[in-house]
Amino acid sequence: MAWSLFRRSPAASPTTLPKESYIGLQLARDGTPDVWLVNQALIGFADTARFPWNLSMIVEMEETLENGMPTSAEQRVLGEMGQQLADSLKANDNGLFVASGSWQGVRHLYYQIRDPEIAQQFLQGFVASPAAVRAMEYRMESDPTWSHVERLLDAARRAQLMPKTSLRQ
């Protein structure tokens, strides 16, 4: 199942970053929900060479439902933490948000980064600060072809092509 939260943005020119536009993907893995929010504006993004570093983060949830999804309270905490991360990582066009997903009590976040030293400096301080209200790990890897996020962008592309169905009441 897929849902679109915003209209798809036109492809960005090499000098302009695409305006974020999201598609939700509701998948299942090992019989439990695997829910993703993917920045569909990055599908076909032509200037990938400007952001050759992949940043993947794993945040451990503290309050989950039986199916491993966050409770409403946990969703608020994760949302605030995610916003703090986004505000800093995307500052000065240093990062592009690619996707976030929840599965089995873990939140996954993916970004493509221009300058890894700027992101690394922020993340080292963030992980050690009280703002990191959940246990978190991250990994920064050279990924000029965006291979680490390719499957998420492909899933979003396929979801865009699926016929839209209406809900009957």
Q: Give the separation between CA 145 and CA 76, rounded to whole angstroms.
A: 33
Domain 2-161 falls under CATH 3.40.50.2300: no
Closest CA to 44 of 80, 11, 4: 11
CA atoms within 13 Å, Cβ hemisphere of 62? 10
Measured in residues, the chain has a length of 169
Confidence tier at 2 by pLDDT (50, 70, 90):
very low
Amino acid, res. 138? Y
Q: Is pLDDT at 14 greater than 90 in this prediction?
A: no
Smallest CA-to-CA distance from 13 within 49, 47, 48 is with: 47
Residue 29: partners with Cβ closer than 8 Å, 6 or more residues away? 103
Distance between first and last Cα of the chain: 18
Instruction: Examine the pLDDT at 169 and tell me if it is beyond 50.
Output: no
Q: How far apart are CA 89 and CA 125, in angstroms?
A: 13
Residue 164 pLDDT: 61
Where in the chain does DSSP place strands (E)? 2-4, 22-29, 32-39, 53-60, 95-103, 106-113, 136-142
**pLDDT 10s digits, 81-125:** 999 999 999 999 999 999 999 999 999 999 999 999 999 999 999
* β partners of residue 39: 22
pTM of the model: 0.86
Looking at per-residue confidence, does 61 or 164 come out higher? 61
Please report the sign of the dihedral spanned by the C-alpha atoms of residue 120, residue 122, residue 127, residue 132.
negative
**Beta partners for residue 100, in sequence order:** 37, 109
pLDDT of residue 3: 42
Mean pLDDT of 118-134: 92
Tens digits of residue pLDDT in 37-86: 999 999 999 999 999 999 999 999 999 999 999 999 999 999 999 999 99
Check residue 130 and give its pLDDT: 85
What pLDDT does residue 167 have? 45
Q: From CA 138, how far away is CA 3, in angstroms rounded? A: 28
- At residue 4, the pLDDT reads 41
Ordered by start, the domain boundaries in the chain are 2-161
